Amino acid sequence: MSLLTITHLKVHFPTQDGMVKAIDTIDLEIANSERLGLIGETGCGKTVLGMSIIRLLQPSTKIEGEIWYKGKDLLKLSEGEMRKIRGKEIAMILQNPTTSLNPVLKVGDQIAEAIQLHQGLDKRAAREKAVEMLESVKIPSPDKRANEYPHEFSGGMKERAMIAMGLACNPSLIIADEPTKGLDVTIKMQIVKLLKEVSRRKSMLFITHDLGVATQICDNIAVMYAGELVEYAKTEDVFKNPLHPYTQGFLNSLPNMGLKPIRGMSPSLIDLPSGCRFHPRCDHASAKCTIEHPPMVEIEKGHSVRCFLYT
Ligand SMILES: Nc1ncnc2c1ncn2[C@@H]1O[C@H](COP(=O)(O)OP(=O)(O)O)[C@@H](O)[C@H]1O
Ligand SMILES: [Mg+2]
């Protein structure tokens, strides 16, 4: 059963240079206990999608569509109602722990504060729970560590603390935004293992440009290009049978797959290409691709693609 259903979502930012169409248009479902990977080049709209779900975008943002979660359209909730969902039901583990952890608060106190806010525990109980959470993300000597400030933590430890904070209120859906970015390989693998463990029996939207990491965690993968999805499939199918030329190019650009970059640059989201948004960079583009915008079509069960090569 679906836990989150996004329909016809558009997220546009008015700017001096014009309207930035960061999301245009996305339809996506996350099932109960599903771990869905969202991959795509920097700037394609992944973080904006995560922030839209949890509704942390600035008020000037133009948002259309629906985001259904447990029978409610999140986009229609009041800020007060949304606050009860944010953190408690849906948690976002942000991209950069250095900016997301408060540098002047002890790590344990920050986690305890989140717990107090959502679970109505008293200070002492929240504090105990915070230490438990640090223990659950395998931070050694959690009692002592809880009394330290973020700068006393290494990069990997900060990421663990962020995960502990995200999980403190036992959310049903975790949105993890590039949680392994900037970590060295060994630490990255530890964090991946941890995320896999803590997301068991939960749903997770795992945002990453690291396909290797996505394969280890995710059941399905959605590939995003210039504000829309271009392919959706089971993780192994994305690797064994990538259909969209962009997905194929993305795979070929990976270090262990030949490191061959896709030619050209990702398009401006203010001035999107006509027809298929990928056509200026595509070796298979025909005249039709320059004019018509291809729809997302399910080619095999559970495998959809937005490309005229298949329809
Ligand atoms: N507040 C904003 N105002 C204007 N443009 C924005 C804003 N936030 C994000 N964008 C633009 O939206 C696009 C998608 O950004 P983002 O979701 O952060 O990309 P990704 O996470 O895939 O790297 C980018 O072009 C970015 O510059
Ligand atoms: Mg991002």
pLDDT digits (tens, 9 = 90+) for 1-58: 899 999 999 999 999 999 999 999 999 999 999 999 999 999 999 999 999 999 999 9
- For the CA of 58, the nearest atom of ligand 1: 1
Pocket of ligand 1 (CB under 6 A): 13, 15, 20, 22, 40, 42-48, 58, 269
CATH class of the domain whose range is 2-80+178-310:
alpha beta
256-297 confidence digits (pLDDT tens): 777 889 999 999 999 999 999 999 999 999 999 999 999 999
Inter-residue contact 125 to 118 (CB < 8 Å): no
pTM exceeds 0.75: yes
Q: Which residues surround ligand 2, an ion (CB under 5 A)?
A: 46-47
Q: How far is the CA of 117 from the centre of ligand 2 (A)?
A: 27
Give domain limits for the chain.
2-80+178-310, 90-170
Tell me the sheet residues that pair with 196. Answer: none
CA–centroid distance, 207 to ligand 2, in Å, is 8
Q: What's the rounded Cα separation, in Å, for the pair 50 and 197?
A: 21
